[in-house]
Amino acid sequence: MSRVEFADVQGLVRFGYGHLTEASYALVRVKNVAAAKAWLHSTRVTDAAKSPTNTAINIAFTAPGLRALGISESVIAGFSQEFRAGMAQESRARQLGDVGNNAPSNWAWGSYGCEPHAVVMFFGKPEQFGFFVQSTKGTPWSDAFEEVTSLGTSNLDEHEPFGFKDGISQPQIDWEQRRQTPCTQLEYTNIVALGEFLLGYRNEYGKITDRPLLEPDSASAELLAANDAPTKKDLGRNGTYLVMRELEQDVRKFWQFLHQQAAGNIEEARQLGAKIVGRMQSGDPLVPTEERPTPGSDATSTQQNRFTYHNDPTGARCPFGAHIRRANPRNSDFPEQRIGLLRKLVIMLGFGPKGFYDDLTSSVRFHRILRRGREYGSELRPEQALAPAPPNEQPRGLNFICLNANISRQFEFLQNAWISNAKFAGLAGETDPLLGNRERIAGYCRPSANFTMQKENGLRYPLSGLPQFVTVRGGAYFFLPSLRALRYFAGTGNA
């Protein structure tokens, strides 16, 4: 399979641009197609060849956005169903837990029928950022687009607004495509097939995810040929899907609730917070880390990412329902490691481990996402958060962004089967303690506002009546095209 041409991939796939500490996301609708195409044509979108020094700009489109640019329905039909239908569709919202306060009808942007057409993401060093954004949004921009909203971000020094170090766990992309797929993975690995994050390459099943393949013509001439259909032009190749959600975090409510549960002891409140997140505020996991890097991680990987829950099967150290254990259960294809063919067969036929909590969670390697989001709002330390909010307090939260080649198997599965599943890993009825919407469990009279902390040798310790800490304020599914596909959209191929 051919090598990745980094100059054709948008930089965001390869880099988080950590050194470009300023960022903002402009959500726009196309006002004038010709002007929009002219702007796209003239804008130098940052590629992944090398990490940019001072500024970066990346662009992604929703399905209505592609339509607005005049892309034909037959081309759009080649994109995935979830991308075409959008995040705010009613059935999908129900599956994602976007009901009640989180319902799309309450969103500030992105509700059904009011989707933005594109997101333009600006990154820069503080000294260049203002000018960079201003100059990029010159005349063609204002003719071309109507800004739905512009989401600001803030640099909280790698911590999310609740005060926990964030962004530690990221999959490592197999850019060189050395990973043999399909395979059986008996150990948790952090390396993930390129096709999970970039369209046009083999994924964890050894297959290439669906995307639009075009007949060669003058418009598509510049596009690369499809790896699995050499006579077709691959519009998806080197592109991927981008999921964006504006998640408002009520930092005061979070720490005030924990403080109250801890009977006024701030240290104990921090401990409770750590159980909820699955990490200390410093980012240290609740289970011991290992000396050797996780298989597939390079030696430079952070110590805080070197662990699995293999030695915590009861959840006594890190509760089953803790946020990071839900979001990445760090398991493998089988509930046991280092097993032979016979044992595999025994397990496959259902005669493996018979404990109640054994083997309840799907293998994680099919459900990884690459997180690229950034925080917004000002820092508020736990002690400060205990005070009542001043009038006109500015909101805080996370502009969540993740990249994945298959939204339904990656982001949606994670959000549905793990984050908002009241029955995750054998739990009786609780959703993610951080992100949960606290609505009643589907079909049941009980609310999901609980959090259980398991113990090694005794009764679990429950928290109940959790308020909603995080509210969804907006969201959409975007396609982050390759630079070639961008030029195709901009219509340069037509010339």
Least distance in angstroms from the C-beta of 263 to another protein: 13
The single residue among 147, 187, 333, 336 that binds another protein, judged by CB under 8 A, is 333
* CA separation for the pair 453, 147 (Å, rounded): 45
For 423, the token pair is: 């029955």
Q: What are phi and psi of 384, to 5 degrees?
A: -70, -35
Least distance in angstroms from the C-beta of 113 to another protein: 15
For 223, the token pair is: 């596009």
Q: Contacts for 271-276 with beta carbons within 8 Å, 24 or more apart?
A: 272/463, 273/162, 273/163, 273/164, 273/382, 275/318, 275/319, 275/322, 275/451, 275/453, 276/322, 276/323, 276/433, 276/434, 276/451
Q: What are phi and psi of 477, to 5 degrees?
A: -100, 130
Instruction: Map tokens 């009542």 to a residue.
Output: 388
Which CB, 305 or 454, lies closer to another protein?
454
Least distance in angstroms from the C-beta of 314 to another protein: 6
Site string for another protein, 365-404 (x = CB under 8 A): -x--------------------------------------
* Residues belonging to the chain: 495
Site for another protein in 200-219 (CB under 8 A): 205-207, 209-210
Least distance in angstroms from the C-beta of 423 to another protein: 5
Angle at CA of residue 175, ends 173 and 179, nearest 5°: 80
Taking CB under 8 A as the binding criterion, the range among 81-89, 189-197, 239-247, 381-389 that sits at the site for another protein is 81-89
The single residue among 363, 379, 395, 487 that binds another protein, judged by CB under 8 A, is 363
DSSP state of 202: B
The single residue among 81, 282, 384, 494 that binds another protein, judged by CB under 8 A, is 81
For 182, the token pair is: 């399909």
Crossing angle of the two packed helices 266-277 and 251-261, in degrees rounded to 10:
120
Q: What proportions of the chain, in percent to the nearest 5, are helix, strand and coil?
A: 30, 20, 55
Tell whether omega for the bond before 433 is within 30 degrees of 0, i.e. cis.
Answer: no
Which CB, 14 or 409, lies closer to another protein?
409
The single residue among 6, 112, 175, 357 that binds another protein, judged by CB under 8 A, is 357
Taking CB under 8 A as the binding criterion, the range among 92-100, 148-156, 254-262, 482-490 that sits at the site for another protein is 92-100
The single residue among 91, 139, 180, 300 that binds another protein, judged by CB under 8 A, is 91
User: Should residue 359 be labelled a site residue for another protein when binding is judged by CB under 8 A?
Assistant: yes
User: Should residue 340 be labelled a site residue for another protein when binding is judged by CB under 8 A?
Assistant: no
Least distance in angstroms from the C-beta of 225 to another protein: 20
The single residue among 100, 355, 465, 467 that binds another protein, judged by CB under 8 A, is 355
- Which chain residues interact with another protein by CB under 8 A? 77, 81, 84-85, 89-92, 94-95, 182, 205-207, 209-210, 314, 333, 347-352, 354-357, 359-360, 362-363, 366, 408-409, 412-413, 416-417, 421-423, 426, 428, 441-446, 454, 456-462
